[in-house]
Structure 1
């Protein structure tokens, strides 16, 4: 950073401020651990800092940064393979947040999250950011560094895929077409 102009420093820290919380939230959803999420995001911003001057010349700075975050999450998962996985309690948290302790709601929530995990990576990201984080399609597109129309398309494909997966819960072939 010592060779950066003041403008370079200001833009980096503005980007950091704008993206840090969203990146941390996304990393937590993907990793299920505060410590792992914080480490992945810290490494993400270290790498972004090293490449910042290069990134400033890119057409999609957000897309490049998003790819770095995704890579750091993959690295954390690889490190985790050497130690026990934390239990994914997302479904339990969702049920308890509603104040319900109903087995059917819990089972349905677990089934839904399992189906979401079977989506393509881009569809899953769009679903998590748009529906899970309640971001607009424009905000989701900006965060992922893609076009708004691409997010809408990915969400449409994800909804269709989820309908297939949820309609055939025991199927090992989630790719079969549902006839309407």
Structure 2
């Protein structure tokens, strides 16, 4: 499972470019044209007692300053900041996991470590306070937390957010690391 963070400086001036695609009616002619396009299709068939990652944790684009701060990405996808960090754009999304158990079955969920370090071109940044989007939300730790599968079909999915500690004058660039979530069916 990957954690991704991008820290990019804001340009001095923002500009917006719009591109329009206009379809004009074609004149009728005796020649006929044919065109084709290809699309992709995907599916995941779940097996009983499965568990897998749907998408990675992404803190989105941020701008560091001379003051340290944090970026918190909640399980619902909302971002907040403290200190000298500026949130750039509306990016960022929690990690998401899914699986298939059975209705009313209990599961224990635990982290491999209570915090991790992500690395990039500058000083490593700590990621901590991993929060699962359960009802109510809960902070995950190395001590297993018990949950119950409430879907009548036994399928489930849940998001995980966290807090990123950004250093003062953090170097711009891509930062990445990984964390482990263990799920045990009881």
TM-score normalised over the length of structure 1 = 0.21
Larger radius of gyration: 2
Q: Which of the pair is proportionally richer in helix?
A: 1
